[in-house]
Amino acid sequence: TERKKFHTAPVGQVFRLRPFHVLVATGGGYAGYRKYEDYKVEQLEKRGIEVPVKLASEWEVALYKSVPTRLLSRAWGRLNQVELPTWLRKPVYSLYIWTFGVNMKEAAVEDLHHYRNLSEFFRRKLKPQARPVCGVHSVISPSDGKILNFGQVKNCEVEQVKGVTYSLESFLGPRIPTEELHFSRAPAGHSFQQQLVTKEGNELYHCVIYLAPGDYHCFHSPTDWTVSHRRHFPGSLMSVNPGVARWIKELFCHNERVVLTGDWKHGFFSLTAVGATNVGSIRIYFDQDLHTNSPSYSKGSYNDYSFISNNNKEGIPMRKGEHLGEFNLGSTIVLIFEAPKDFRFNLKAGQKIRFGEALGSL
């Protein structure tokens, strides 16, 4: 009949689904559903209605983890490096500015054509006068962001948001060998929290700062201190927005993070940069050996690096307000430190804060 033959695959082959595809599709759909739930919670909070805590079950967390967020984050990172044509830069960046409320008047370079790619735009520097560093208070905010929680650490548990906690030891990992720090430690028989407190009469405090996509993405030293050790935890890259932090217990312990520990004038001090979806890149300026979001990693693993050496007995000294590192997009900073009992935070949960503003003082 001179008609062309049309070859079709067997029905069983056409509709055969692989487990990976099912997990990605299901996990992605569920992640979208959670985003919608988070939006509803935000609207209720804006109206002053308190939302009860509803934690995710193990299967919900496993389903969320099935989404290949690490792969997507690496893909996003490569996309960010693509140089945009000059004519396209202003429309793309203007859309981002409008969506996330970016204040470009604070940027060191306001001309949008200057930024060759999205990565440069995310990591834009600010005008020197845009963020004056408070000289009165002993601890300042290391970044722009939203205060999720703060206060005194109790019973080896830290609050990521009100009513949802995570284990201090799981978050920081096993205690660092004494010889790598400048101060003595409590005996091994004490709790992990007591081992971190080095001076009698001191307490352990914490503060959690969430960086939204529209915030300034660099972070700075929150006080005068010395960094002695770095611990890198490869892990998941789940979203860390307040809605997800309220939903998943120990969210920060699941995610990739870089823990910097050392000491300040009152004893133990640590700053942790927590990764998130599309934030596979965490950069510490003085640490060239750090590489985050590696394609392969062992679940539950971590790697240590000491800044104490034969040539450097002191570690890395950091001045208050000094540039420390940067994220791509937005994420979370967690401070855990030792201070006398009369230390007071000058904060309110949920408030917006900018780099250089006071967190607390004695």
Residue with tokens 């992640």: 31
Residues in the chain: 362
Known active-site residue 263? no
CA 6 to chain centre: 54
Which residue in the list 66, 138, 228, 331 is annotated as catalytic? 331
Choice among 206, 220, 232, 254 that is catalytic: 220
Q: What Å distances lie between residue 336 and 169, 197, 344, CA to CA?
A: 12, 11, 14
Across 232-252, b (16+ Cβ under 10 Å) vs e yields bbbbbbbbbbbbbbbbbbbbb
The Cα 308–Cα 263 span in angstroms is: 13
Closest by CA to 182, choosing from 292, 92, 316, 272, is 316
Pairing state between β 303-306 and 225-233: antiparallel
Sequence-distant (≥ 6) Cβ neighbours of residue 185 within 8 angstroms: 175, 178, 195, 198
CA 240 to chain centre: 7
Q: Based on the residue annotation, tell me whether 266 is a catalytic residue of this protein.
A: no
Question: Is 73 one of the annotated active-site residues of the chain?
Answer: no
Active-site residue, selected from the candidate residues 38, 144, 215, 287: 144
Q: Which residues are catalytic?
A: 144, 220, 331
